[in-house]
Amino acid sequence: MLIEAAETGGSLPDSFKMLSHWHEFVERITRQIQMGLLYPLFLIHAAALIYPLPTLISSFIGGQADVGGYLRRVLEVLLWLYVPVLIVLASLLFKERARPLRIVLDHLVLRVPGLGAAIYHLAVYRYAKAFGMLYQAGIPVSECAERATRATGNAAVAHLLAGGTASVRKGGMMWEGFSPRLAAEYLHLWQIGEETGELDKTVDRIAAAAQDRADRYFTLFAQWLPKVVYFAALLIAGYMVVQLGTQVYGGLDIPF
């Protein structure tokens, strides 16, 4: 959609430059998250293998090696990790095919600490950048607004901005149709741009500010997600160690 807007506006070089920077940024953030998650994921898998060991050892001592029971207990522990991951992956896979699911997911993701703010500002950046490319090419404002709304990438944020199209078609200004729940700074800047007749410059300022905030929040999320998972893995491992000690100690006949 970005390339489509750039072709209409005659700004393909800028469009490809934006896409290049975006994919470099995504690769860096993805690599940072993956490297940070390696150790906590190792802890969770190690804990899952160690936790059922007393039961397996007891079965060996009793002469009936219950390897199947041991593997089932390992699987039960790991399901707490893999089931949520599979749900997220399945949701991302099917959300483009099911619009109601996409709307629900787009609203939910905005409530994820850190990530929600990043996606919110990214959507505003996409809207402003697409609108600016079309506007500078002389496309009618109503069409610019409509096509920019489709470029946001998030249905919840698109809903906040969609009123701008209807407002222009009724003869009003775009900012009057924006939802009051849109960030006050963006709303105020857009109002100034329309009232002063310098909307092209103002849109660039909004895009730059939104891009900077999206980058910052994505970076913070990439830094903190592994730490949160690591802390959760330590809690799970600690709980399993306590349970393991209780099982081993409870199996010993120690007189006091």
Nearby residues of 58 by Cβ (< 8 Å), 6 or more positions away: 251
For the chain, what percent of residues have pLDDT higher than 90?
22
pLDDT tens per residue across span 62-71: 667 677 877 8
Q: Whole-angstrom distance between the N-terminal and C-terminal Cα of the chain?
A: 75
Question: Per-residue pLDDT for 206 more than 90?
Answer: yes
Instruction: Give this prediction's pTM.
Output: 0.72
Higher pLDDT, 103 or 209: 209
Average pLDDT over residues 226-249: 72
Burial of 181 (0-12, 13-18, 19+ CB in 10 A): exposed
Q: 138-190: per-residue pLDDT in tens?
A: 788 888 899 889 888 888 999 999 999 999 999 899 999 999 999 999 999 99
d(CA 22, CA 214): 11
Instruction: Tell me the C-alpha distance between 86 and 92, whole Å.
Output: 10
What pLDDT does residue 174 have? 93
Residue 77 has pLDDT above 90, yes or no: no
Q: What is the CA radius of gyration of the chain?
A: 26
Q: What is the pLDDT of residue 107?
A: 87
